[in-house]
């Protein structure tokens, strides 16, 4: 009977991309207008050097965090170095390292051991960083829960107030009192709209961003029942993927709703792409009256007095979570033109 021996070797459960973040691994990084590439000196992971793009080598959330780290390093001057931590919010996963600026658009990055292990006393305290991330996420969850309770109480109280207003309206026969009652009802409806708004936006930034197919997202909003038969659309976004917050649908909805609100039924909305110095612009153009030059920036402000809601302000806040800008560049009298400006690391083309 042949001798048998139990295999006690533990399988390697790490993902392939985690090998690229092991302590001691060195990257050389090239930053281009539309992508970021890196390579490892031969012998680091394999016997030969090869160029890799961050999106193709890492999961979307890790790729986004790496882009953020490298984008923040653009202000470094050649010869500068700084400590960095690639930490996934809400998890215990993280990797510290040292980033060096070599020249324009060129960096080197060395992944190091966790400072709590004692091997590198000068490295970042990774565990403290992760604990802070988890504490912030937990606090946000509690704030959202508290927000839901307060909203529920406000709406119940407003129902009671409106009931009393209806009773007063029936028993009082005075034109001035009826005028005050109508104004009170208008204020009550505004309070209810604001309270309902908190329901829509309470999850802002809670879930990590991800790549979405832009054409499908835009078409999904345009095809909603409330817009059916009211707008004419032309969407030209073949093959574009955008790295955005999970509430990006709300941004599209607010822009489309704004065009319908001011352009009226039958308004034409064209969605296309435009190359801009900052990266790529996702452009929404309509056939409405456009925006007066004095209001082009104010319409995105929280304190804009003439708005009919907070849609464009909150849309700009959602976009800002992933470093995306929004501006209005249309010609007044010929239609509105909203440009959503995506930096090079927040979009790509292909499957």
Q: Model confidence over 263-313: pLDDT tens digits? A: 999 999 999 999 999 999 999 999 999 999 988 888 887 766 555 556 788
Q: What single DSSP character describes residue 309? A: S
Residue 197: C-alpha distances to residues 148, 200, 201, 204, 340 (Å): 11, 5, 7, 12, 23
Percent with pLDDT over 90 in the chain: 22
Here the tokens at position 215 are: 């054409």
Here the tokens at position 233 are: 């659309």
- Classify residue 79 as left (phi > 0), alpha (psi -120 to 50) or beta: left
Percent with pLDDT over 70 in the chain: 76
Each residue of 65-83: pLDDT tens digit? 888 888 888 878 888 888 8
Cβ atoms within 10 Å of 314's Cβ, excluding its own? 20
Q: What is the pLDDT of residue 135?
A: 65
Half-sphere exposure at residue 97, Cβ-oriented, CA atoms within 13 angstroms:
22
- Inter-residue contact 235 to 197 (CB < 8 Å): no
Which band of pLDDT confidence, cut at 50, 70 and 90, is reported for residue 90?
low
- The CA distance from 326 to 336, in Å, is 13
Phi and psi at residue 113, to the nearest 5°: -80, 160
Tokens 């292909």 belong to: 350
Pairing state between β 51-53 and 36-39: antiparallel
- The CA distance from 83 to 63, in Å, is 18
Q: What is the mean pLDDT of the chain?
A: 80
- Inter-residue contact 70 to 108 (CB < 8 Å): no
- The CA distance from 86 to 109, in Å, is 12
Degrees, nearest 5: CA angle 101-23-128: 85
State the virtual CA torsion across 42, 46, 48, 50 in degrees, nearest 10: -100
Q: Which of 311, 336, 337, 204 is nearest to 257 (CA)?
A: 311
């Amino acid at each position: 009977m042949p001798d048998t021996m139990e295999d006690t070797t533990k399988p390697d459960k790490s993902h392939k991309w985690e090998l690229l973040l092991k302590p001691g691994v060195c990257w050389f990084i090239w930053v281009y207008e539309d992508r970021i590439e890196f390579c490892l000196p031969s012998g680091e992971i394999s016997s030969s050097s090869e160029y890799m793009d961050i999106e193709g080598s890492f999961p979307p959330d890790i790729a986004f965090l790496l882009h953020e780290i490298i984008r923040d390093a653009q202000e470094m001057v050649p010869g500068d170095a700084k400590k960095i931590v690639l930490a996934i919010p809400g998890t215990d996963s993280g990797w510290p390292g040292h980033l060096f600026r070599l020249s324009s658009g060129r960096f080197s990055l060395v992944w190091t051991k966790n400072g709590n292990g004692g091997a590198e006393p000068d490295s970042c305290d990774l565990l403290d960083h992760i604990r802070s991330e988890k504490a912030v996420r937990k606090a946000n969850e509690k704030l959202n829960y508290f927000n839901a309770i307060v909203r529920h109480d406000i709406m119940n109280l407003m129902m009671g107030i409106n009931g009393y207003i209806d009773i007063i309206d029936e028993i009082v026969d005075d034109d001035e009192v009826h005028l005050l009652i109508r104004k009170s009802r208008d204020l009550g409806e505004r309070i209810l709209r604001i309270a309902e708004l908190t329901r829509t936006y309470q999850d802002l930034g809670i879930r990590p961003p991800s790549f979405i197919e832009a054409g499908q997202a835009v078409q999904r909003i345009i095809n909603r029942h409330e817009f059916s038969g009211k707008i004419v659309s032309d969407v030209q976004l073949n093959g574009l993927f955008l790295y955005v917050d999970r509430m990006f649908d709300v941004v599209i909805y607010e822009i489309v709703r704004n065009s319908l609100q001011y352009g009226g039924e039958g308004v034409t909305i064209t969605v296309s792409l435009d190359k801009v110095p900052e990266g790529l612009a996702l452009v929404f153009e309509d056939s409405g009256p456009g925006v007066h030059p004095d209001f082009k920036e104010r319409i995105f402000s929280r304190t804009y007095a003439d708005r009919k809601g907070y849609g464009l302000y909150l849309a700009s806040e959602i976009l800002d979570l992933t470093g995306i800008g929004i501006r209005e560049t249309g010609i007044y009298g010929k239609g509105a033109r909203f440009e959503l400006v995506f930096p090079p690391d927040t979009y790509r083309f292909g499957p």
